[in-house]
Structure 1
């Protein structure tokens, strides 16, 4: 297993669990850590499957990824309604990948779920943004077949794969036209306070890729090698706090390694599952 991909997974889990514990905006603004242990959510559980499949295959095998998502699904991890419904249908004999194509009247989901789990994939293909983009699109389509849902995953994977100084250029190079890309273009050019950026770019309140990914990338660009500051900043701005913290934490940890994550934070999070 590649060290930077595992570090990204740890960074995802720490951000996810901390963000989930900061259920009051005031806690994030005043930087009050929740009481340990911190419990991670579906963001981390699904990211574990992504890395598990990469470790076993060297690439994203969509059938293996769907199988892992189903095998490790835990209703108590706070999955979104769409995934919960699909998993119940799978238990009745449905196929996850086929069900994903029929969600939202056949348009597929453009939620932020494919983006929240993909930073370790980008880290796995570090230095090869084009490969990261291609593999992220395959990984996203297992559950999110709408072009915007896929674009969100591609953008985050490329951000984790690309050098920090070229992040926006590479992300825009590989992200298809649409709302996600338009938001990223705005983020790349935006000179604003964090509060202004949140109003301009979105805070995850719609739980969509266009409403989540641009702000995540804007914060990452401001703090490319400062895990703690980036996670605190996005936590104070976000509505979907755990997901935005997971994305930001996963991308930055891919660059700075586990040692770049505060030791107390790493110690406060429940362990990752043994199967990963």
Structure 2
């Protein structure tokens, strides 16, 4: 989850001002966390509490109403009787990483991903994006080689992962759909040489930069871990309530991995 948050903060300044290079300062002075972080933290707390995903997303979203939500999610956030709205937006995939980290098995991670996604993004492509990211994180946690992950995800989800980052970069444009965001985000992580390189890959292709980097970061964390120095910088952008959930999340992970559950 730290990887997703770092990617979100770094990408926040490039969402509407895309750059097509890997040479940029990681933490700009005007960077900030966005809806990617808020929704990810909401679902982490929800899972830790065994709560209702809809209630937690709405509580956190209303706490941070200016975090940059999409129009349809904003309407859902403030509706008196919120209902799923058949979305296939990339919000389904940006917030799902806690499911992959907190569940003891892959099947349970997928079940959690379905449960937290269907409250808004109940379109098949939205669900597919959330499940694909969950699976990639789980595979990366087990140390599965990138080429094997690429093959398994291609077979299960029928995403085209054949292009390289260099292939994607020249023509890639802003796209808020799962089908337009998840495959390139996966490629940016699988092709990387380390966590920072994965984030630079994601920012360099352009598009919906904060969400791309959040998804890529969530995968890269499972592949490489998060460098302490980057997390120290990211923490400075986060308020106490978010940091408190992250501390609970970290404690829960310590218990989970100490028990050896990672199937």
TM-score normalised according to structure 2 size: 0.79
Alignment equivalent of 2:73, drawn from 70, 74, 83: 83
Q: Who is 1:15 aligned against?
A: 7
| Pairing 1:214–2:169 present | no
Alignment of 1:39-118 (within 5 A): 39-57=32-50, 64-73=52-61, 74-89=64-79, 93-94=80-81, 96=82, 99-100=83-84, 103=85, 108-118=86-96
1:150-197 CA-to-partner distances (Å, cap 9, x unmatched) read 000000011111134242344346x5xxxxx33x2x20xx254x2323
Alignment equivalent of 2:130, drawn from 153, 160, 167: 153
- Please give the alpha-carbon distance, in whole angstroms, between the structure 2 residues aligned to 1:81 and 1:233: 28
- Please give the alpha-carbon distance, in whole angstroms, between the structure 2 residues aligned to 1:238 and 1:75: 25
Helix, strand or coil at the partner of 1:247: helix
Q: Who is 1:131 aligned against?
A: 108
Q: Who is 1:5 aligned against?
A: none
Q: C-alpha root-mean-square deviation of aligned residues, in Å? A: 2.5
Shift of 1:10: 1.5
More helix by share: 1
| Pairing 1:171–2:153 present | yes
Helix, strand or coil at the partner of 1:21: coil
- Please give the alpha-carbon distance, in whole angstroms, between the structure 2 residues aligned to 1:30 and 1:228: 12
- Please give the alpha-carbon distance, in whole angstroms, between the structure 2 residues aligned to 1:37 and 1:199: 26
Q: Who is 1:236 aligned against?
A: 204
- Please give the alpha-carbon distance, in whole angstroms, between the structure 2 residues aligned to 1:234 and 1:221: 11
- Please give the alpha-carbon distance, in whole angstroms, between the structure 1 residues aligned to 2:205 and 2:73: 26
Query: How many residue pairs end up in the alignment?
Result: 236
Aligned 8 A contact 1:15 1:242 in 2: yes
Aligned 8 A contact 2:9 2:27 in 1: no
1:81-119 CA-to-partner distances (Å, cap 9, x unmatched) read 011111232xxx21x2xx21xx3xxxx011111100012
Task: Show structure 2 runs of 5+ residues with no match.
Answer: 246-263
Where does structure 1 differ by over 4 angstroms across 4 or more consecutive aligned residues? none
Aligned 8 A contact 1:130 1:158 in 2: no
Helix, strand or coil at the partner of 2:33: coil
TM-score normalised according to structure 1 size: 0.76
Shift of 1:249: 0.7
Task: Show structure 1 runs of 5+ residues with no match.
Answer: 1-8, 176-180
Q: Who is 2:224 aligned against?
A: 256
